[in-house]
Amino acid sequence: MELKVFSLILLFIIAIKCIESKKPVRTFLVVEDWRPEKKPLTEFTVYDSSEKNRLYLIRTIFTDLDTIIRTDYRAKKIVGNVEGEWTNRIFNVSLSIYDKTSDEWIDGTMGCDRIYFTSYFSFLWNGEKVVFKSYNFSKTIKICKQMPGPLVAQFRYRSLWRSVFIYKYDLKIYDTNVPDVVFLLGLTIIHHNEQLPKDNMWC
């Protein structure tokens, strides 16, 4: 029995080391632009690994249906958007992302579920399912294909406290098949969800 427990612990440690040693193929810094006052949704600027060059802008529109738009700063064009209702425990979200390979816009959906202290946000787009796993007491948001499944990306809060400073996230991407826009739009929705009063949270 003791040997079995030891083996399980050893496997767990090895699994953690494998994740830690996995090298990202791309890294970004995602910075909150300003605290929303009249706007209910936070906006972000995305920088490259040098933290100097702006790559993407994440902008929001507040109407009957909230909208999040991601713009390629270099090409000056919109490359993805999310819209729907996501407050007062209503979650009805659709998304559309530009696919470079087919040169077409492809629609998708997003859902959420909560189990105890963990929220799961799932993207279905172009035959891919990507799940964001956000823990209440963790600074890291892990992103996997399916659940459980291989780690494809992760966000991590850079600041010590979530609510004191301007939010900064380090994004590490380990998969080349999932567009960056999926991760960035997902982060914006999760960030907004965590800022809502508990009675209004969707997930």
Q: Are 133 and 146 in contact, with CB atoms under 8 Å apart? A: no
Q: What Å distances lie between residue 144 and 25, 78, 155, 194, 203, CA to CA?
A: 15, 25, 12, 20, 18
What amino acid is encoded at 15 in this protein? A
What is the per-residue pLDDT for 30? 94
Overall average pLDDT of the 171-198 stretch: 84
Position of tokens 């040098």?
Answer: 50
Q: Tens digit of pLDDT for each residue in 60-90?
A: 876 655 677 878 888 888 989 888 766 656 6
What distance lies between CA 99 and its chain's CA centroid?
Answer: 18
Q: What is the pLDDT of residue 172?
A: 96
Residue 41, pLDDT above cutoff 80: no
- Alpha-carbon distances of 192 from 11, 20, 128, 152, 203, rounded to whole Å: 36, 28, 24, 22, 11
Terminal alpha carbon distance of the chain: 39
Q: What is the pLDDT of residue 33?
A: 86
* CA separation for the pair 91, 82 (Å, rounded): 12
pLDDT digits (tens, 9 = 90+) for 87-98: 656 667 888 999
Pair type for strands 92-99 and 54-61: unpaired
The pLDDT-based confidence of 166 (bands split at 50, 70, 90) is: confident
pLDDT of residue 173: 95
**What DSSP letter does each residue of the chain carry, written as one string?**
-HHHHHHHHHHHHHHHHHHHHPPPSEEEEEEEEE--SSSSS-EEEEE-TTS-SEEEEEEEE-SSSEEEEEEETTTTEEEEEEEEE-STT--EEEEEEEETTTTEEEEEEEEEEEETTEEEEEEEETTEEEEEEEETT-SEEEEEESSS--EEEEEEE-SSSTTTS--EEEEEE--SSS-HHHHHHHHHHHHHHHHS-GGG---
pLDDT tens-place string over residues 143-165: 998 777 789 999 998 875 555 56
Residue 47's pLDDT band (cuts 50, 70, 90): very high
pTM, entire model: 0.79
Please tell me the least confidently modeled range out of 14-23, 98-107, 138-147.
Answer: 14-23
* pLDDT band at residue 14 using 50, 70 and 90 as cut-offs: very low
